[in-house]
Structure 1
Amino acid sequence: MDRANKTKNLTGRCLCGAVGYIVADAFLYAANCHCSNCRRTTGSAFKPFAGIERQKFRVTKGADDIKRFGNEQAHDAHCSVCGSLLYSVVREGEYVHVAMGTLVDAPSIRPSAHIFVGSKAPWFTITDDLPQHEGHAA
């Protein structure tokens, strides 16, 4: 727990356990992204992610085992051992989108919308009542 502001820290890790991280349970937003890049990097119909300021996220284990796709200001971070997508650095390097499936602990936030449904997989049907946006949520 972050004693300064009483925010609980969550842990996360890749499939093989080579890379681990902690993140404050203070996410600003969460969504299910259906864009083609998220589908390709996860190998699934969409990527559930939660966004937070970069300084509230820290790799605690296996930093040398992270394979980055992109640059310092915008990249996807995968475990180089097992390939798990752990997080994405976005918005000019200021925010991290944590792949929610890598969280060990349950966050207090839940996805509130589907984004980029204009390019969703044609074989997948969205069956919940969350708002759907053709691109980014407004």
Structure 2
Amino acid sequence: MIARLTGSCFCGAVRYAVDDAFRYAMYCHCSNCRRTTGSAFKPFAGIERDRLAVTHGAGTLLIQGDALNNDTHCARCGSLLFSVVRDGAFVHVAMGTLVDAPSIRPGCHIFVGSKAPWHTIADDLPQHEGHAGG
């Protein structure tokens, strides 16, 4: 049986549930992820879009982009909750918004070619200049 995890924005206005069946998890260092999170990188976990459901506060979502490719935030506190990617097929859940611990851990760093110059990657995970494997 697959566990169901919960997640929330900072202020609690938006909550979601997602299956603990993530396909992959990574640290993204691209400039878009850095600006969206205000951090050196975004830890995210990817899963099919239909395995995540907003359970509270759907009317409080701020969607930057379109239905098939976007960053989904809480409009009240600004928390980045997830990104809809791959033409709407997957979501990249911002792991910092998970209330429950997922079974997956990030397995690599991507877009290190554009990482913040003031940040040093201090682990032994594989590093990719762009997408993983590419």
What's the TM-score once normalised by structure 2's chain length?
0.99
When the two chains are superposed, the root-mean-square deviation of aligned CA atoms in Å is: 0.3
Corresponding residue pairs, total: 133
Q: Does 1:14 align with 2:4?
A: no
- Deviation of 1:34 after TM superposition, in Å, equals 0.1
- Of 95, 98, 112, the residue aligned with 2:93 is 98
Alignment-derived partner of residue 61 in structure 2: 66
Counterpart Cα distance in 2 of 1:105 and 1:81: 22
Q: Mapping of 1:28-107 within 5 angstroms?
A: 28-107=23-102
Q: Unaligned stretches of 5+ in structure 1? A: 1-5
Counterpart Cα distance in 2 of 1:43 and 1:30: 19
Alignment-derived partner of residue 27 in structure 1: 22
- Deviation of 1:114 after TM superposition, in Å, equals 0.2
Alignment-derived partner of residue 113 in structure 1: 108
SS at match of 1:92: coil
Percent identity, please. Answer: 70
Counterpart Cα distance in 2 of 1:58 and 1:129: 34
1:31-83 per-position Cα deviation (integer Å, ceiling 9, x unaligned): 00000000000000000000000010000000000000000000000000000
SS at match of 1:128: coil
Alignment-derived partner of residue 132 in structure 2: 137
- Deviation of 1:7 after TM superposition, in Å, equals 0.3
Counterpart Cα distance in 2 of 1:18 and 1:56: 21
Counterpart Cα distance in 1 of 2:53 and 2:79: 17
Q: Unaligned stretches of 5+ in structure 2? A: none
